[in-house]
A and B are shown apart, each in its own frame.
Chain A
Amino acid sequence: MYQIFNTPLYKYQKSTDQDSKNLRHYRVLIIGAGPVGLSAAIDLAIQGVEVLVLDESDKVSNGSRAICVSKRALEISERLGVGKKMLDKGVIWNLGKVFFDNKKVYEFNLLPEDGHQYPAFINLQQYYVEEYLVSRIRELQEKGYSIEIRGGNKVEEVINEPEKVTLNINTMDGNYSLSCDWLIACDGPKSTVRSSLGLDFDGQIFEDNFLIADVTMDAEFPTERRFWFDPPFNKGQSALLHKQPDGVWRIDLQLGWDIDKETEKREENVIPRLKAMLGEDVNFKLEWVSIYTFQCMKMEKFKHGRILFAGDSAHQVSPFGARGANSGVQDVDNLCWKLKLVLEEKAPLSLLDSYNFERVFAAEENITNSSRSTDFITPKSKISMAFRNAVLELSERYDFARPLVNSGRLSTPSTYDNSSLNSLDGMKNPTRSRVGAPCPDLPFHDDYLLNKTGNQFCVLTFNCKITETLEDLFLPVKTIEITEGDENKDLMRDRFLGQYKEAVYLLRPDQHIAGRWPSYDKEILLEALKKATGN
């Protein structure tokens, strides 16, 4: 197998900043070159904000790690310029099978909805995602964008001052300092920034360990997700089998919290476990193995002065539901346009409080879902186990029990129902595109609507036109006219019009709906734009 994660993609190079007599100041610094930090950097750069990413390593993710990429994360990646590459490489899966003990209890189909560019999920190794993001950064650099990534730069100290943030950075050439207006901490669950500020996670809910193995094998398994509750080969725990690109299979075996990690990781202990699962006669090769320990918790606030936390540094969830990296990418999708407006002084500092409000809310939703899945998968008491087993037994024969089976509720974007950026909803339906919701996709001019919105505020008009100019508004606003035709009629009604003949939607740069009305009125639109930018 081509092991991209052994190749340095952003090798340490001494920067002129290190010899400079004056402290070099940046608008935005990002710590951590994972999927979240790299996405944030690209988002800011394409919006014209100078940005530098620092990472202590110089390679992409070691191992497949976060493999399930959700539709919303793909849509965001599309806007950043890597979505199609991810889709081309990724494995699309729709069929899920659920096993209890030694029998299959039921199967489900994700039944992808028509008229979306991206499927509900693809499986793609995290190192590919990071590789694509890094090459996108290289592409932007060639085009002259102010974006840089520095490997072998370990941040040792963070000083959060009222007007700036100062960093002390260690390199093989010694230490140097940088300062910035804003720091985005995307440095993972063990965040140095978090600990250096003496901040902690709020409320640890539980801790568990997973043996994660990537294998290639001769046996042909179909492209589907298989989930086992209490299988004979991993008694009292769960197991997951998932297909990745390059003929690699991902196996997650739950180990419980009370284990010795070093012992479990040894090949002589891993191989028998995998044989018991795959069958004695299946030839397989172990590509990568790791023990993943997770906790379910979050910081109380994601914004501390001029430091903004995003991704695993701010919140951690169980792996059930693919709510880790997918929610981290949504964090920075939410943050970057706000940061840009604040830096350009087109919005007050308080706009960034809405990042905290909206993404803390999303993290809570993710933690609730992932905790419920964990409670179902690993019941904590005898009675809880009895209910769980009753659900699984009944689900084999009776439809009603199937929605109760919880092997992970797959990541969907949050709707920011109570955000201060929302205008009063001018329409009664459709509910799915209410104010605060992420805008649904729609086929549009041989392409898709979400590919057209760009990185700014956007007004969508359905079956109506805006004849006057919007150029006198305090921000650039793009207008997209959508007219009902035979090919999009039902989808448009279902996703945007509901009971109405016409509709006007205001989308934020992160494609969440800031306001919607059954007819156009410039004054109302302007008020909504002010509200959505904290003005």
Chain B
Amino acid sequence: MGQINLKPNIKNNDEFYSKLIAAHEGLSEEESIEFNSRLILILSNQVGDPEILAEALEIAKRR
């Protein structure tokens, strides 16, 4: 297992992005942080593979 996919994989990028931003509309900053936390946990469960999750964590740490 392993090997994170860093090639484009989202079907309709613009639609997804606008839905993501719209989901935060009307939320306070604190509520947005909480929303993102839930979202990351849901998506992590979907990914499942611990190696990929570890890779994703590493990539997100890089600046």
Contact = CB atoms under 8 A, between A and B. Distances in A.
Contact of A404 (B17, B24, B63): B17
Interface in B8-44: 8-10, 13-14, 17-18, 20-21, 24-25, 27, 29, 32, 36
Given A383-B29, A383-B32, A406-B17, A398 B6 contact: yes
Interface string A358-399: 000000000001001001100101111001000101000111
Interface string A388-418: 0001010001111011101001000000000
Contact of B8 (A393, A400, A409): A400
B61 interface: no
Contact of A376 (B17, B27, B29): B17
Contact of A383 (B6, B9, B27, B63): B27
A409 B18 CA distance: 14
Contacts of B5: 400
Nearest to A403: B13
Given A383-B32, A384-B24, A398-B59, A375 B18 contact: yes
Contacts of A379: 21
Contacts of B27: 383
B55 to A, nearest CB: 12
Given A383-B29, A384-B24, A393-B63, A372 B17 contact: yes
A399 B14 contact: no
B6 to A, nearest CB: 5
B8 A372 contact: no
Given A383-B27, A383-B29, A409 B14 contact: yes
B24 A400 contact: no
Given A383-B29, A409-B14, A403 B8 contact: yes
B43 to A, nearest CB: 14
Given A372-B18, A381-B24, A382-B29, A404 B7 contact: no
A402 B17 CA distance: 12
A399 B8 contact: yes
Given A381-B24, A383-B29, A383-B32, A400 B17 contact: no
Most chain A CB within a 10 A radius of its CB, from B6, B17, B24, B63: B17
A387 B16 CA distance: 13
Contact of B7 (A382, A397, A400, A406): A400
Contacts of A383: 21, 24, 27, 29, 32, 36
A149 B7 CA distance: 54
A379 B21 CA distance: 9
A390 to B, nearest CB: 9
Contacts of B18: 372, 375
Given A375-B21, A383-B32, A384-B24, A402 B8 contact: yes
Contacts of A384: 21, 24
17 contacts: A381-B24, A381-B25, A383-B27, A383-B29, A383-B32, A391-B17, A397-B62, A398-B6, A399-B6, A399-B7, A399-B8, A400-B7, A400-B9, A400-B10, A403-B10, A404-B13, A406-B17
Interface of B: 5-10, 13-14, 17-18, 20-21, 24-25, 27, 29, 32, 36, 59, 62-63
Given A398-B59, A403-B10, 6 more contacts: A372-B18, A382-B29, A383-B21, A400-B6, A400-B9, A403-B13
Nearest first, the 6 closest Cβ-Cβ pairs linking A and B are A383-B32, A403-B13, A398-B6, A383-B24, A403-B8, A384-B21
